[in-house]
Each structure stands twice: as C-alpha cells, then as structure tokens.
Structure 1
Amino acid sequence: MTGPPLDFLSDRARDIFRVVVESYLGTGVPVGSRTISRLPGLNLSPASIRNVMQDLEEAGLLAAPHTSAGRMPTETGLRLFVDAMMQADEPHDDDKRAIERELSGEGPIENALNTATALLSGLSACAGLVMVPRREAVVKQFSFAWLSGTQALAVLVGADGSVENRVVDLPPGTTPSMLIEAANFLSAHASGRTLGEAQQWLAQQIADGEHALDAAAANLIARGLAAWSRDSEDRPVLLVRGQANLIDAHATADLERVRQLLDELEGKSEIARLLDSARAGAATRIFIGSENKLFSLSGSSVIAAPYRGPGGRVIGVVGVIGPTRLNYARVVPMVDFTAQTLSRLMQ
C-alpha cells in the first residue's frame, strides 16, 4: 500500500499532516482544523487548514470517521509517516536500564524470552511477542527422583545450564535402584548429545544388543527421553504476553476490532508466520494494518526485530502488536534495543 511521495506534498501540507498524525497517535482521537489552528507555529486559519486537510484526504492520506469529526491518518498515511517523516527517539534511559536489568539474569533462555515479552508489553502498553528459537536440548546430566510406585520425576540438566523436570509414568515393578541405574547409564552415555541423538543411539544399542542394561532399565531410559523429546516438539514457537493491554479506553468504541485481534492472537500460527518473515530483515520491521491480510479485519500493527545467537545467526524475533495508532517513534527503538539486548545475552 503506497501513497503519494513526500516530495509531492507542499511544506504546508507536510506540517499539517505531521500534526494530524502525531496528535492522533498520541490521543487516538481524530483531529479538527480548529484544534490545529490553535497550535503555535502554523499561523493558519481553520478554513485554510480544512482546505489542506481535504486535499490530504483526497490523496488517501487522511480520513474522516464521521462527517462532523476531525481527520485521522489512513493506513497509507501511517506508512508514509513512518517511512519518510517519523523521528525515532532513542529509548528512554529508564526503559533501557529496565530492559538491561531484567534481561541480565542467569538461567534458561526461555526465562529471558518470557521476561522480554512481559517487559515490552508493560513499556509499550501493547501485547509483547517473541519467537522462541527451535532448539533441542543438549544433555549434560540426567536423573530420576522416585515419586511413587507408578511415577518418577525425570530431571534433565542441559549443557546450557538449564534444569527442567517432567513427571513420567513407570512400568510395573520399577524399583528406586532401577531408576538410579538408568539415570547413571544415561548421564554417562548421552552427555553431549541432543535428545534426538540420544534416542537414536539408545535404539541402535538395543538393536545391536550391545547395551549393558536389562529390558526394564532400557524401557525407563526410553520413556524419559521420549517425554523430553515430545516436550521439545510441542513447545510453542510464539510467546504472547499482555493481551489485556489491547482492551483500553478506546477499545470500547471498536469492540469487534479488538475481538478479531484477540482471535488472531489465539491462533498463534498465523502471527508466528508473520514474525518469521521479519527474520530476513537486518533491522526492525513495521507491519501496518491491512498491508498484511492477517490484520485486514482487526486493523492492527506489528513492530518486530530479529535477535541473534552465536555467529550472528538470526534465531528468533521479538516485537509488539497493538492498534495502528501505536506510538511508533517510541516503540520502534524500544523493540530494537530489546532485540539487541537479547542478542548480547545469546552470545
């Protein structure tokens, strides 16, 4: 979706267009000519401003939601403003400190990604999004903790220092000593392998008859590895936090749009595909409204930036989703800074 080039707008039209867009993004309310005429610096009558606003409307950059209302930017107008006129600020020092502080802790990468979505949601008053890198844990140590005659706690320590637990069902006749034997064997032979590699190795050992385990212990190991493998495959690739931020004071006038957006967030696969398209970009990308058919009904915008792992390889995307009247000048650098901070953490 494109509008007239910026060069085709007169200086007066640019000034008025900028005022309308910045005011609307700040308040969510259409802007009238009388309001603009009272602002310092323009020195134009309401009638002159109305004429320019009419020209901007005919150019497809502004729209009037009601006959007697002021003007608001169209999606075409927002795209022109974002691409050619917006002055993106540096993230506020307080925001930068909050992002760096919250993303500096140790622990599993998933914790940092969850924190990033919550941070962006709180700082932007939108919903925070993050694409979780698909990765298979590399085993460092494995153990079982006895819970009952039918269940045990499988504890996996990853090579990255992550520690996660899963409850597994035990075959009849399992004893605590069998759990110890199985865990010791797995720790000794699976360390340094991914879960998939460990499964393949165990299957080959059993097929060749070369393993030093009885059938019951081999069964325990297979159950533990299977539980972790299924968890890795089923782990969501998209985390969303702060959906409640999308229901604000302006949402009551457009409940159908908000309902549609929440439905889109519920069906995460489509949003995930959209974010995945931002992986190829070197910088932050902005998707505005019906430019993407996913948001043709909800009229939403997404700001997304890739974050990188070792070697500079893009491993995920972080961003926010909200109404098209986002404060782009503030949110764009905030998303970009969060992506940079995550990239440093992943090194």
Structure 2
Amino acid sequence: MRLPEPRGGVSETVVRALSGAPGSFAGVPVSSPGYEPWLDEDLQLALWVLYELHYRGFDGVDPDWEWDPALLGLRARLEAGFVEGLRKAVPAVPDEPVARALTTLVDADTGPSMSRFLQRKATLTQFREFVVHRSIYHLKEADPHSWGIPRLGGRPKAALVEIQADEYGGGRLERMHAELFRTTMGKLDLDTEYGAYVGQVSAPTLATSNLMSMFGLHRRWLPALLGHLAAFEMTSSIPNRRYGNGLRRLGGDADATRFYDEHIAADAVHEQIAAHDLCGGYVDQHPDQVGDLLFGAACALYLDGVAAEWILTRWEAGNSALREAPADLAASA
C-alpha cells in the first residue's frame, strides 16, 4: 500500500517524514481546527497513517517507524483531542447491569438508517460507494479487536476467541469475513487491494476505523474495545439483512451478497456472546471499568451515525459520497 495524499499540514508532515529514515521526525504543532475531530480530514488521515504502521505498513516505509518516539508523541496528542471530543459528544452511559445497559444504548441510538436506504432506494453507484467506505475496515475485519485477546483471561478471553474465530472463518481462507468482503468488491468491479480507496473516503469514515485502532492499541482502553465490539455485533444482524437484500435488488448474485448473508446468523449469536460472556464476564472481573466499557459502545454508535449521516446527506443532495471519484467508480455514475 502506498502512502496516501495528505489533506493538511499534519498529515503532510507525517507522510513526508515516513518517506525518510526513522529518527528524522522533529514533530509538528497540533492545534484544534474549531470543529469536531471526526470531521477533521487532516487529523483523521494523519491518525490513520500512524495506526497503519501497526498493521501492514506502507510500500517503501521503513518498519522501524512503527515505534519512533516522536511519531508516537504526535499520535498521543492527536488521540487526546479525539477522546476529548468524544467525551463531550457521546451520551451519558446508563446505570444498569452491563448487558442491559448495552441494550439501552443500542435501543436509544437515533442515527440515520444507512441500511434502509440501501435496501430500498440506493442506486448501484451509491451501493458501490458504500462498499468503498466500508472497505477501510472490512478488508482487515476483526484485526483491531484481536488486540484484546492477550490482555484478557478466563471467561471473557474465551468469548472473544470464539467471536474472532468466526470472523477469521475458522481458519479457512474462503470463509474469512475480510475475504468474503473482497469477493463482494470484486463482484462490484472495485479494486480489492487493501487500502486502495483511502484517498476517496471521508474523515468520519476514517474516524470509525481509527476509533477501533485506538481502543485496540492501548491496553488502557481494553474495556472500551470490548464495549465497541459488543455494540458492533448488536447492531449488525438486521442491517446486514437489509444490505444483502439491497444488493440483490440491484442484481447482486449469491457470491456478491454472501458477506452480508453470513453476518445475519453469525452476528445474532455474536451479540449474545459479546454482551453476556465477553462484556458481562469482564465486568465481573473488573467492576470498576464498566464506565469505560459503555463509553466504548457509545462511541461506536455515535461515530457510525456520524459517518452514515455524512454519506446520506450527500446522496440525498444528488452528490457523490466520495472525496474524489476514481475511474472505476466514475465510469458507473
């Protein structure tokens, strides 16, 4: 994967530094742009690039940059602004037993319904744009949450391993969820390479991915990571049924829709494991961390709603939901 084109001073400084030798980064001032951090294209791209150093890296970038102290210092400052904004934006978490509290948060979520739009109204071009946005996470599906496995013990560890084993297809390549999504992309004549469309997606889409990476990389945010996964699983089954039906309406065959169809049954089971065995088991072990766990769930729901609203607003105005339409999408418009 090549380094993306910068979107401002911070991401430009990061991209330029990564083109050189580790140890040469001298830092860069970071100031608030005056609006929510998940709408800040420069900040979210810079964070995404810094996080990707811990995944697969970039062509021509020395792997020693991954633990460069100056880059880690910059990342910490960007993360601090991200978390501060989320603490102000997300709703207060309910004072209930954790499984019930998670259900309360999910039931109270009033974000726009991307799945209903795609099921009933979306054009093929819009569905392809949706897949482009989702590719930023789905081509590495489950990887951020897997960072939680070595930090857990007992019942919650077993629960997370059970969920992740399904995400990775039980060790069978053709059943891995990331590979199923790659097939969907191929059926839609999209570029299936990891990170191919990072230059086309919005800051809110990057923010949904960055949130998972931030929670996953920091042991301090382990309970938030578990809450995030629970919210993710608890809001997956019904939307994926709608996504699959929407793609069938647009002519998608069984191979194209298998990614969505697979999630209908799998995530109906996963949501129970995540809420009760994973989160419930973790809170039994660490009752003082329930607030952080529910904060992670609330952040997941909030940013998913922001990203959906960003896309739907542009579609309803008759515009593309991509920053720049690449040739393979412009041709279908």
Taking structure 2 as the reference length, the TM-score comes to 0.26
Larger Rg: 1
Higher helix share goes to which structure?
2
Greater RCO, 1 or 2 (C-alpha within 8 Å, sep 6+): 2
More strand by share: 1
